[in-house]
Structure 1
Amino acid sequence: MRRPLLITGPPGVGKSTLAYLIARELGLGRVLEWNIVSRTTLRDGLYVHDAMGRAQAIAAWQAGLREAGFTAPFDAQAVDGGPLEDVNTALSTGDRQLPPFLGDFITLGPLGTALLPYDRPRVLLVDELDKSDIDLPNDLLHVLENGSYDVPELVRDAADTARVHTSDPGGHALVRGGRVEAREFPVVVITSNGEREFPAAFRRRCLPLEMRTPSREQLLAMVERHLEGRPQGTEDLVDLFVQRVQAGGTHSLDQLLNAVQMTTAGGFQADGDGRKLVEMLLRDLAKGR
Structure 2
Amino acid sequence: MSAQEQTVVNGWRVFHATGRAPDAAPQLPEAPPWRRFRGGPPQPAPPDDPAAALRRLGPGDVTPQLGADDIDTVNAALLLRRPLLITGAPGLGKSTLGYVIARELGLGRVLEWNVVSRTALRDGLYVHDAMGRAQAIAAWQAGVRHGTAEAPAAAVDTPATSADPQLPPVLGDFITLGPLGTALLPYDRPRVLLVDELDKSDIDLPNDLLHVLENGSYEIPELVRDAASTARVHTSDPGGHAELADGRVECREFPVVVITSNGEREFPAAFRRRCLPLELRTPTREQLLAMVEGHLGNLPQAAGELVDLFVQRVQAGGTHSLDQLLNAVQMTTAGGFQVDGAGRKLVEMLLRDLAKGR
TM bracket, shorter-chain basis: 0.7 to 0.9
Is it true that 1:243 corresponds to 2:312 in the alignment? yes
Q: Which residue of 2 aligns with 1:177?
A: 246
Report the Cα offset of residue 26 of structure 1.
1.0
Report the Cα offset of residue 267 of structure 1.
2.5
Q: Which residue of 2 aligns with 1:219?
A: 288
Report the Cα offset of residue 37 of structure 1.
0.7
- Percent of aligned positions that are identical: 87
| 1:233–1:264 CA contact under 8 A, matched in 2 | no
Structure ID, larger Rg: 1
In structure 2, distance between residues paired with 1:57 and 1:261: 50
Flag structure 2 segments of 5+ consecutive residues without an equivalent. 1-79, 150-163
* Equivalence map 1:104-143=2 (5 Å): 104-143=173-212
Q: Tell which deviates more after alignment, 213-222 or 170-179.
A: 213-222
Q: Which residue of 2 aligns with 1:81?
A: none
Tell me the alpha carbon deviations over residues 53-105 of structure 1, each in whole angstroms, 9 at most, x when there is no partner: 111111111111100199xxxxxxxxxxxxxxxxxxxxxxxx95221001011
Number of residue-to-residue matches in the alignment: 266
Match of 2:103 among 12, 24, 30: 24
Report the Cα offset of residue 215 of structure 1.
1.1
SS of the residue 1:269 aligns to: coil
Match of 1:60 among 112, 131, 139: 139
In structure 2, distance between residues paired with 1:234 and 1:13: 18
TM-score, normalising length: structure 2: 0.71
Is it true that 1:160 corresponds to 2:232 in the alignment? no
* Equivalence map 1:1-289=2 (5 Å): 1-68=80-147, 97-289=166-358
Change (3 A) 1:203 1:66: same
RMSD over aligned CA atoms reads 1.8
Report the Cα offset of residue 238 of structure 1.
1.1
In structure 1, distance between residues paired with 2:269 and 2:141: 54
SS of the residue 1:15 aligns to: coil
Which gives a bigger RCO, structure 1 or 2 (Cα 8 Å, sep 6+)? 1
In structure 1, distance between residues paired with 2:347 and 2:89: 21
Change (3 A) 1:66 1:250: same
In structure 1, distance between residues paired with 2:82 and 2:221: 26
Tell me the alpha carbon deviations over residues 90-148 of structure 1, each in whole angstroms, 9 at most, x when there is no partner: xxxxx952210010111111100000011111000000000111111121121011011
Return the letter of the residue paired with 1:239.
D
In structure 1, distance between residues paired with 2:185 and 2:316: 47
Q: Tell which deviates more after alignment, 213-222 or 188-197.
A: 213-222
Change (3 A) 1:97 1:220: same
In structure 1, distance between residues paired with 2:323 and 2:203: 31
Q: Which residue of 1 aligns with 2:50?
A: none
SS of the residue 2:118 aligns to: coil
Flag structure 1 segments of 5+ consecutive residues without an equivalent. 71-94
Report the Cα offset of residue 268 of structure 1.
2.1
